[in-house]
Amino acid sequence: MTKEFIVAIELGSSKITGIAGKKNPDGSISILAVVKEDSTSCIRKGVVFNIDKTVLCLTNIVKKLETSLKTNIARVYVGVGGQSIRSVKNIIMKTLPAETIVSQDMINELMDANRSMSYADQEILDAVTQEYKVDSLYQLDPVGIPCLRLEGNFLNILWRKTFYKNLNQCINKAGMEIAELYLAPLALADAVLTETEKRSGCILVDLGADTTTVLVYYKNILRHLAVIPLGGENITKDITSLLMEESQAEDMKLKYASAYTDNSDIDENKKYPIDSDRKVESRKFIEIVESRLQEIIENVFYQVPNEYADKLIGGIILTGGGANMPNIEKAFTDQAPTEKIRIAKFVNLKINSNLPEITAHDATMNTILGLLAKGDINCAGEEINTDLFQATDAKHTATTPTQTKEPRSFTETSGTGIVQTEEEKERLRKQKEAQEEAERLAKEEEERRIAEEKRQNSPMNKLWKGIKNFARKITEEEE
């Protein structure tokens, strides 16, 4: 019997996580396996900096999953995230002749023109349509409306070209067939936010180990995305200033750290043990933790565009490992433009699993579960042969994917969170060049045909034809 399951991989700063799950007819997802690899030596702030070590981690993840599933993996879904991802607004305008009715082709031209924008050292990962301006009115769907001026407002999501290139190199070196590259923050948002929150306006804050990701939604549209290069690890490193190892600092953070402590509740005589010989004053420890956390919170709210600051009725949704810190809501409430704060400890999906990583509901698996939910292509290859009497030199390789994926145009992928790989972009570029060449040749042929028709119908040509016909008749009569 052919197996069917989805495989997703998340490249995190502290660990790379691989997950396999099966989608059920009732819409639920059954988790089949979860594996992890330490990534501190190859990924920093969500970005690959050591290609060879990352490749080793990825191949180990795939091997562990294959062993657990007893099936080869033919393809995987991979999440893209980390430092330097940011959003930039862009406007593309087109002037139209009088009485022109907006068509879908015109919209596609605007979208393609936007995706063709060039940014220094930056790669466009995705482009989200905000709205269209038809003359002086804003519309979400302008097709069919007559106008003289059509304007497309877009939100381009950028990433440094170096990071994009390194990720693609890792994927290629690991020999992984990609089902889809996906923007991890958008997959997370779809998994933890409700439709009401997106529609009424909200801020999603993913408090990670090395980074904090901020997304702003309003009227069901992503309005801003930024990754702040600060996270829980920064708090840990600050605690090491109390003269201790980083592992000790991490333990103390998990045991004693609070996002907010009222000044009147601080016991001046209380001390926290560093080890068997040393202790630290609780006030000093609290001040270190809160100072760094306040910096993170200030940076979060700095990212909220002014035009949406007073419209976010859906409130603030906190997720990620940092959301587990005690009194985290209180710390945000003190600076937030709204008192409505919710902690998303788990995804808004029906998940079936007895695995402790999943049942913990500690917000650390939300992104990978969101990526898994995006999968719609079977990732299973051939079943691994465990028959000891079979030839020992048989190779356990994934089957050649039966579902080939043609590179989709920018207009097809815009706003979906799908990131095109370098291979897809190159194939799409060649397709576009071939199409443009065919169109050029067709245009030249048409121009030649029109020129020939004009020549044939010109007065001089008609006169010359008349003379030739007259001469031929005279010659025929003489004969």
Quick check: helix, strand or coil at residue 21? strand
Q: Are 239 and 288 in contact (CB under 8 A)?
A: yes
| Amino acid 263: pLDDT | 92
CA distance between the termini of the chain: 90
| Amino acid 2: pLDDT | 55
| pTM of the complete model | 0.87
Q: Are 10 and 370 in contact (CB under 8 A)?
A: no
| Amino acid 406: pLDDT | 66
374-398 burial, b if ≥16 CB within 10 A, otherwise e?
bbeebbbbeeeeeeeeeeeeeeeeb
Domains of the chain as residue ranges with CATH: 6-83+163-195+348-383 (3.30.420.40), 86-160 (3.30.1490.110), 203-343 (3.30.420.40)
| Regions in the chain scoring below 70 on pLDDT | 1-2, 386-407, 477-479
| Amino acid 336: pLDDT | 81
DSSP codes joined into one string, 221-263: EEEEEEEES--HHHHHHHHGGGT--HHHHHHHHHHH--S---G
| Amino acid 478: pLDDT | 65
CB contact set of 238 (below 8 Å; sequence gap of 6+) = 288, 289, 291, 292
